[in-house]
Chain A
């Protein structure tokens, strides 16, 4: 069975600093990988996804993630944090139809 581990339930960065949110997965088949963001009192929205092809995926709001098969990782990065990036971020993996597994989430705080 596939699973997702997000390292760090809370991450705090200063405005302008690098954002790095870690995600590792386990899967016996090539995975499709997703990052979703949840702003306070809202539903989740897609940041980016990897299905096939280029392993470096660019998403909305300046975020990107790189699929590294050898490390079973799909870490999310943004070069310079903005106050508006404060939210909860979920990594998810899907290895079959109708079966998406979410990580526990990482809450990002951005300090002025």
Chain B
């Protein structure tokens, strides 16, 4: 199993550009999520999905869109990049069907995004 994979590893954007961060998992997990990691702030939840066709907002959703057409994939879209979105982005998945608070999350290696 590859686990949770993310592409690209690094990306530099100009303000106003759009892009999609890719996330895939091969563990047949229903629950997937996106976090951003900023220095001194830990990880903050952007969006999550409890299954194909179902998504919801987390703590910091503004400026980001998600969709979940398959169990395996959960892309994160930046509609119009801003310097405040410079961060490291992590995708995670867990085996629980409802994002149960007891579930262990499995994280991808991250995408380091810089917005100029």
* Residues of chain A at the chain B interface (Cβ within 8 Å): 4, 9, 32, 34, 36, 41-46, 49, 51, 90, 92, 94-105
Q: Quick one: which of B41, B90, B98, B102 contacts A44, CB cutoff 8 A?
A: B90
Q: How many residues of B contact A (CB 8 A)?
A: 26
A–B complex contacts, Cβ < 8 Å, 19 sampled:
A9-B40, A34-B104, A43-B90, A43-B107, A43-B108, A45-B106, A45-B107, A49-B104, A95-B101, A96-B101, A97-B98, A97-B100, A97-B101, A98-B56, A98-B98, A102-B35, A102-B44, A104-B41, A105-B42
Residues of chain B lying within 8 A (CB to CB) of residue A94: 101-102
Residues of chain A lying within 8 A (CB to CB) of residue B108: 43
State which residues 1-48 of B face A: CB under 8 Å: 4, 35, 40-45, 48
Q: Is B67 an interface residue (CB 8 A)?
A: no
Q: Are A102 and B43 in contact (CB under 8 A)?
A: yes
Residue of A nearest to B99 (CB): A98
Q: Is the interface of A mostly helix, strand, loop or mixed?
A: strand
* Residues of chain B at the chain A interface (Cβ within 8 Å): 4, 35, 40-45, 48, 50, 56, 58, 90, 92, 98-102, 104-110
Q: For residue B109, give the distance in angstroms from its CB to the closest CB of chain A.
A: 5
Instruction: Report the separation of the CA atoms of residues A52 and B42 in the bound assembly, to the nearest whole angstrom.
Output: 25
Q: Are B101 and A32 in contact (CB under 8 A)?
A: yes
Q: Quick one: which of B90, B92, B99, B109 contacts A97, CB cutoff 8 A?
A: B99
Q: Quick one: which of A42, A45, A90, A97 contacts B42, CB cutoff 8 A?
A: A90
| 10 closest cross-chain pairs (CB), A and B | A43-B107, A102-B42, A94-B101, A98-B99, A102-B43, A44-B107, A51-B102, A104-B42, A97-B99, A46-B104
Most buried by B among A9, A36, A100, A105: A100
